[in-house]
Chain A
Amino acid sequence: MNNPHHMNPRSLKSRFTTRFLRALTKIRAQKPISSSSPTEIFRRYRKIKVAADKSMAYSVRSRKTWSRAMLWKLRSRSHRRRPVKTKFRQSVMKNTKTTTTTGEDGVGFGVEASELRELVPGGEAMDLCNLLDETAHYIKCLTTQVQVMKKIADFYSL
């Protein structure tokens, strides 16, 4: 991404863009888009949102806890109703040593940390160090997601 002449085909931005565009093509093909009833547009909006998250999670794969959590969540969406959060916690907590952050971290930001845990996928099961590290990566991916989606929307707004 720092190379001005060529977008690295293996960069996150490139992988996400290709996947996401492919997903958009599929969504277009699903319904005759001549019908733009509000319900149709809403359904399309939801599909696009899921596609954006899915494309991002698949581009990162299982290299990060947050992407694994997101993939897990996305997969169990397409199956029957399941208590998503508890099952994931159980499966992750078997393998991770967790520490509670409410007041124990010695640096005094337990409340903000719990808030952050709710925003980062899989955050509930991470210890503080992992949470901070995963958050940094998650933010980089979110900004890439926004950048690409903005470019696509602008492209088709002309």
Chain B
Amino acid sequence: MSSRRSRSRQSSGSRITDDQIIDLVSKLQQLIPELRGRRSDRVSASKVLQETCNYIRNLHREVDGLSDRLSQLLASADTDSDQAAIIRSLLME
């Protein structure tokens, strides 16, 4: 892979190379649980971006749901004095 020549694009004075993009895309691929194990030459860049969008939407939805859960739990939550305990249990992960 590293023997491939970089071709620079001539458009609008930008010097982004194809190799740079390929590297960034495969780096992104490793972050997506759906695609993590697969070889990067087997997954198209288009698919990576597609799955990235889906993954981000899922994460947004998770944050939404957790905000909802927290809004109901907040009544009995003494977040101030529990801070140390919460951080401690985050450490264990």
- Taking Cβ atoms with an 8 Å cutoff, the residues of A that contact B are 6-7, 13-14, 17-18, 21, 24-25, 27-28, 33-34, 36, 41-42, 44-45, 48-49, 52, 97, 99, 104-109, 112-113, 115-116, 119-120, 127-129, 132-133, 135-136, 138-140, 142-143, 145-153, 155-157
Contacts and interface: CB of A to CB of B under 8 A. Distances in A.
Contact of B67 (A52, A120, A136): A52
A18 to B, nearest CB: 7
A25 B80 contact: yes
Interface of B: 9, 11-14, 16, 18, 20-21, 24-25, 27-28, 31-32, 44-46, 49-50, 52-53, 55-57, 59-60, 62-64, 66-77, 79-80, 82-83, 85-87, 89-91, 93
Contact of A155 (B12, B16, B85): B85
Contact of A142 (B12, B63, B87, B89): B63
Contacts of B70: 24, 45, 48, 149, 152-153, 156
Contacts of B32: 139
A36 to B, nearest CB: 6
B20 A129 contact: yes
Main secondary structure, interface of A, reads helix
A119 B60 CA distance: 9
Given A13-B90, A17-B86, A153-B69, A132 B74 contact: no
A142 B56 contact: yes
Contacts of B80: 21, 25
B28 A135 contact: yes
A139 B91 contact: no
A132 B77 contact: no
Nearest to A150: B66
B28 A104 contact: no
Contacts of B18: 106-107
A97 B25 contact: no
Given A119-B53, A128-B16, A142-B56, A156 B77 contact: yes
Contact of B56 (A17, A49, A108, A138): A138
B41 to A, nearest CB: 14
B87 A132 contact: no
8 contacts: A6-B91, A17-B86, A25-B79, A109-B45, A132-B24, A133-B24, A135-B28, A149-B63
